[in-house]
Each structure stands twice: as C-alpha cells, then as structure tokens.
Amino acid sequence: MEKLKVGVLASGRGSNLQAIIDASLAGEIDVEVAVVVSDVADAVALERARAAGIPAVHVPPGKFRTKLEPEIEQRYIETLESHEVDVIALAGFMRILHDDFLTYFAGRIVNIHPSLLPSFPGLDAQRQAWEYGVRWSGATVHFVDAGVDTGPIILQAAVPVRDGDTRDDLAARILEEEHRLYPMALQLIAQSRITVDGRRVSILKPRQGSEPGRDRAAKGRTG
C-alpha cells in the first residue's frame, strides 16, 4: 500500500514528531514523514528528523516574530511540494500561516492542541486550563483554518486535572495523549476514513483496500 506522505512543520523539541516517526517506523501507521521543516535552525525537531534519515530543512522565518513573510511562506510551500507531501502536520510550529498557504493546502493541514477545544485556544493552553480550575482537560487534533485553533475537530482525548497538580503535571499528562492521538489521526487520513461537512468531521468504518491519496486527506467540504 502506498503510504501517506506527511510534511511536518515544527519549531521546537518535536516530541509529537517523534511519536509519528516511531509509529511509522514500527509499521503501526501507513504514513511516511517525507520532510521536516523548521523556522528554528537548531530545533531539536530537525535533529530528530536527521536521526531517522528524514530530510530536515531550515527555512529562516524573516523579520517578524510570530508570522511568516509572504516570500518566506512561498519557500515553505515550495519545500513541501518538492517532497510531494499529501498532508501537512503542525507539531509545535510557532508561526502564523496566512491565506496563501492555507488555500494552497486547503483541507490538508492538521494540528494538535493541548486542550479540549474550543476551550483554551492559543498559547499555553495547559496553564489556561490549570488556572481556570477545570476538572478535565485534554488534547485535540483538528484541521487548520484561518482562525486560532478553530478548525474542524478530528479526535479528542480527555485527561483529569488532579488535586495538587501543577501546570507541568497537567502538561505531561496531556502530552501522553497527544503522542497517542496524532499518529491515530494521521492513520485515519491515510485510510481515507475522514469526511468533513462544515464543522462536523465523520469517521468512516474501515474498509478493505482503502488507500491514502492526495485528494483524500479530507473528503467533503469545510467552511
């Protein structure tokens, strides 16, 4: 079976990237990490990619602190296209993506967020949840749209917030679920088992002979 080719964008340590790589190398998912691209030259994520024999590319982000310049964003598109990726997986990528990128890869960008969206979007969601005093938090894999963590939800997992937890205790518990969920979500895409209708994502039952493909990242329509 042809594997789903995933391009990963990461800015930091890349622990979710490693979870995807490990699941791929173990044959647990029909996914190949085709390239890892980072805005940070010494990102641990790039080291993880090189250690696994995966192309690792640093594309400098330009002059802005939180977003990519249009010319730089085009370099990201060209790099991902040169590796013929089917899906883009954001794994701690700390830059805002603009309409050109989102339109080019429409329906083919996924992200993982450390909360039960729509609660606590944005930065440091673990601290947001901990400070708010919720009894449950968790992780969410979702498609990416132009909003901040607002795209259609693919998978979620809840974790308890225990008495005496620190922010770091909660973050560690959520991260375990992130490492489990992200490969699972990519496998659903690889098996062509996801349809999207507006904000609603449906997961189809597995069927024999289903194959991943560029046009099958998310069947249906979004928006």
CA separation for the pair 177, 214 (Å, rounded) = 27
Structure token pair of residue 91 = 């794994």
Give the Å distances, CA to CA, from 149 to 79, 113, 153, 191: 24, 7, 9, 24
What residues form DSSP beta bridges with 58? Answer: 38
CB 174 within 8 A of CB 138: yes
Q: How many Å apart are CA 97 and CA 165, to the nearest integer?
A: 34
Residue type, 117: L
Strand partners, 222: 198
Among residues 58, 83, 113, 142, the one annotated as catalytic is 113
CA 178 – CA 14 distance, rounded (Å): 12
Element (H, E) at 102: helix 99-104
Three-state DSSP at 136 gives strand
Q: Is 119 exposed, middle or buried (0-12, 13-18, 19+ CB in 10 A)?
A: middle
Whether the Cβ atoms of residue 9 and residue 88 lie closer than 8 Å to each other: yes
Residue 113 designated active-site: yes
The residues assigned a catalytic role are 113
